[in-house]
Structure 1
Amino acid sequence: MAVGTNTGAKAEVPGLSGAPLIGSLVDLKTDSLGTYLRARHQHGDVVRITAGPPGLRAELYCVFSAEGVQQVLASESANFRKDNLFYQEIRDSFGNGLLTSQDEDYLRQRRLVQPLFTPRRVDSYAGAVAAETEAALADWPQAGEGVVDVSEAMAHLALRAVARILFGTDVDATVDVVHRCFPVVTDYVLRRGYSPVSVPRTWPTPSNKRAAAALDELYAVCDQIIAERRDAAPEGGGGDGADGPAPAQDLLSLLASARSTGDAEFAATELRDQVLVFLLAGHETTATSLAFALHLLALHPEEQTRAREEISRVLGDRTPEAADVDRLPYLTQVLKEAMRLYPAAPVIGRRAVAATEVGGHTVPAGADVILAPWVTHRHPRYWPDPDRFDPDRFTPEAEAARPRYAWFPFGGGPRACIGQRFSMLESVIALAMILRSYEFEAVDTEIPVGAGITLRTKGPSRCRVRRLDG
Structure 2
Amino acid sequence: MKLSALEELRTARGLDRSMAPAMRELSARSGPVAQFGFGPLKVTFLFGPEANEFLFSNARKFRWRGGFESLVPLAGETALLVSDGPGHDRRRGLVQPAFTREPVAGYLDVLLGELDATLDSWRPGQQVDLYSTFRAMVRASTVRGFFGPALAAEHAALGADLEDALHLLNFSPPRQQLLQAVPNPVRRRARDAIARIDRRVRAEIARRRSAADPGGDVLGVLLAHGEGAMTDTELRDMVVSLIVASYDTTSAALSWAVYALWSDGAALGKAAEQVAERLGGRPPVLGVLRELPYLDWVTSETLRLYPPAMAGARTAAEDFAFAGHRVRAGDMVVYSQYVTHRLPRIWTDPDTFWPERWDRSRPGYRHPSSYEYLPFGVGARRCIGSNLARAEVAAVLARLLQRTELTLLSRDVEPTGFTAMYPKGGMTVRVDGVRTPLPTP
| CA distance in 1: counterparts of 2:119 and 2:180, whole angstroms | 45
Residue in structure 2 matched with residue 209 of structure 1 by the alignment: 188
Per-residue Cα deviation, 1:298-333 (whole angstroms, up to 9, x for no partner): 211211111111111221112222111222111011
Contact kept, 8 Å, 2:311 with 2:337, in 1: the verdict is yes
Q: Is the 8 A contact 1:160 1:171 kept in 2?
A: no
| Displacement after TM superposition at 1:119 (Å) | 2.5
Secondary structure of the residue aligned to 1:270 is helix
- Cα distance per residue 1:44-101 (max 9 Å; x no partner): 2x222313xxx6563322222213212212x2222222143x5122112220211111
- Separation of aligned partners in 2, 1:331 and 1:122: 18
Alignment of 1:54-203 (within 5 A): 56=39, 58-73=41-56, 75-84=57-66, 87-95=68-76, 96-141=78-123, 144-170=124-150, 172-190=152-170, 193-195=173-175, 196-197=177-178
Aligned residues: 432
Q: Structure 1: which amino acid aligns with 2:223?
A: A
- Tell me the distance in 1 between the aligned counterparts of 2:47 and 2:95: 31
Q: For residue 50 of structure 1, what is the aligned residue in structure 2?
A: 36
- In structure 1, the residue matched to 2:220 is 253
In the alignment, which of 203, 206, 211 is matched to residue 232 of structure 1?
211
On the 8 A contact 1:39/1:47 being kept in 2, the answer is no
Task: Give the residue type in structure 2 aligned to 1:279.
Answer: I
In structure 2, do the counterparts of structure 1 residues 191 and 381 end up closer, same or farther at CA, with 3 Å as the change threshold? closer
Deviations 1:331-366 (A, max 9, x none): 011112111111111110112223434345544444
1:326 to 242, 266, 290: 290
Write the letter of the residue equivalent to 2:99. F
Which whole-Å CA distance do the structure 1 matches of 2:383 and 2:424 have between them? Answer: 26
Give the superposed CA RMSD. 2.5
Partner of 1:409: 375
Contact 1:48 1:59 in 2 (8 A): no
Tell me by how many angstroms 1:17 deviates. 4.1
Tell me the TM-score normalized by structure 1: 0.84
Contiguous gaps of at least 5 residues in structure 1:
1-13, 236-247
Structure 1 residue 297 displacement after superposition:
1.6
> Which stretch of structure 1 is more off in the superposition, 19-28 or 450-459?
19-28
Given that 1:352 and 1:369 are in contact with CA atoms closer than 8 Å, whether structure 2 keeps it comes out as yes
Aligned to 1:243: none
1:304–1:49 distance in 2 versus 1, CA, 3 Å: same
Contact 1:297 1:440 in 2 (8 A): no
**Is there any run of 5+ residues in structure 2 with no aligned partner, and where?**
437-441
- Code of the aligned partner of 1:62: F
Is contact 2:301–2:353 with CA below 8 Å preserved after alignment?
yes
Runs of 4+ off more than 6 Å: none
1:227-248 CA distance string (max 9 Å, x none):
222222548xxxxxxxxxxxx8
- CA distance in 2 between counterparts of 1:79 and 1:182 reads 32
Alpha carbons 2:158, 2:197 under 8 Å: kept = yes
Q: Equivalent residue of 1:264, what SS?
A: coil
Contact 1:298 1:463 in 2 (8 A): no
Distance 1:199 1:445, change over 3 A: closer
Q: Aligned AA for 2:53?
A: Q
CA contact (8 A) 1:31 1:450 kept: yes
Say yes or no: does 1:458 pair with 2:424. yes
In 1, are the aligned partners of 2:64 and 2:81 still within 8 Å (CA)? Answer: no
What is the CA-CA distance between 1:427 and the residue it aligns to?
Answer: 2.0
